[in-house]
Amino acid sequence: MKWFKYILVLFIIIAAGSAFWFYYPQYQIHKLQKAAAVSIKDHKQTSYIQYFAKMKPSSIHHLAIGDSVIKGVGANQKEDFITRFSSELRQATQKTVISDNEGIPGITSTELNQFIQHGKFNQEIKKADIITINVGGNDILHLAKQKNFYQAIQSFSTLQNDFAENLTQITKHIKKLNPNVTVVYLELYNPLTPKNQFYGFASKLLPKWNINIYKAANLSPSSIVVKTSKVINDKHLQYLSADGVHPNSKGYFAISQEMLNEFKHTAKPKSI
| Residue 158 pLDDT | 86
At 102, phi and psi to the nearest 5? -110, 30
SS3 for 74? coil
How many Cα neighbours within 13 Å face the side chain of 53? 13
Prediction pTM value:
0.86
Q: What is residue 156's predicted lDDT score, i.e. its pLDDT?
A: 78
Report how far residue 235's alpha carbon sits from residue 221's, in angstroms, rounded to the nearest whole number. Answer: 33
Sign of CA dihedral 52, 78, 109, 190: positive
Instruction: Convert the pLDDT of each residue in 38-63 to its tens digit.
Output: 556 655 789 999 999 999 999 999 99
- pLDDT for position 15: 41
pLDDT score recorded for residue 9: 36
CB 75 within 8 A of CB 252: yes
The residues, any chain, with a CB within 8 Å of residue 226's CB and separated by 6 or more, are 184, 185, 186, 187, 255, 258, 259, 262
How distant is the alpha carbon of residue 123 from its chain centre?
Answer: 23
Q: How far apart are CA 212 and CA 216, in angstroms?
A: 6
What's the CA dihedral at 140, 141, 143, 149 to 10 degrees?
Answer: 120
Helices and strands, counts by H and E, the chain = 11, 7
Query: Residue 116 and residue 2: Cα distance in Å, rounded?
Result: 59
How high is the pLDDT of residue 77?
Answer: 87
164 phi/psi in degrees, rounded to 5: -60, -45
Residue type, 40: I
Q: What is the pLDDT of residue 41?
A: 62
Q: Which residues of the chain have pLDDT under 70?
A: 1-43, 144-154, 271-272
Measured between alpha carbons, how far is residue 179 from residues 113, 182, 209, 272 in Å? 18, 9, 26, 8
Residues 6 or more apart whose Cβ sits within 8 Å of residue 63:
99, 100, 102, 121, 124, 125, 128, 130, 131, 132
**For residue 195, what pLDDT is reported?**
86
Domains of the chain: 2-267 (3.40.50.1110)
Write down the pLDDT at residue 205. 79
In order, the DSSP letters of 91-128 are HHHTSEEEEEEEE-TT--HHHHHHHHHTTTTHHHHHH-
